[in-house]
Chains A and B, each alone.
Chain A
Amino acid sequence: MTREMTRHDDQIIAMLLGDAPASPALEAWLRSPAGRRELTAYRQALGAFTRLYGAIRVPRPRPTAYYCVISSPIGRVLVAATEGGLVRVSFRRSEASFVAELRERLAVEVLPSPAKTARIVHQLRAYFAGERRRFDIEIDFRHVTSFQRRVLLAATQVPAGQVVSYGEIARRIGRPGGSRAVGQALGHNPVPIVVPCHRVVAAGGALGGYTGGLDIKRKLLRIEGALAATG
Chain B
Amino acid sequence: MIAALFFYLFSAVLIASAFLVITSRNPVHSVLFLILAFFNAAGLFLLLGAEFLAMLLVVVYVGAVAVLFLFVVMMLDVDFAEFKQGFMRYLPVGGAIGAIVLLELVLVVGGWRVDAASLANVASPAPPAMSNTLALGRVLYTQYAYLFIAAGMVLLTAMIGAIILTLHHKVGIKRQDVAAQNARTPKDAVELRKKSFRQGV
Q: Are chains A and B native binding partners rather than an unrelated pairing?
A: no
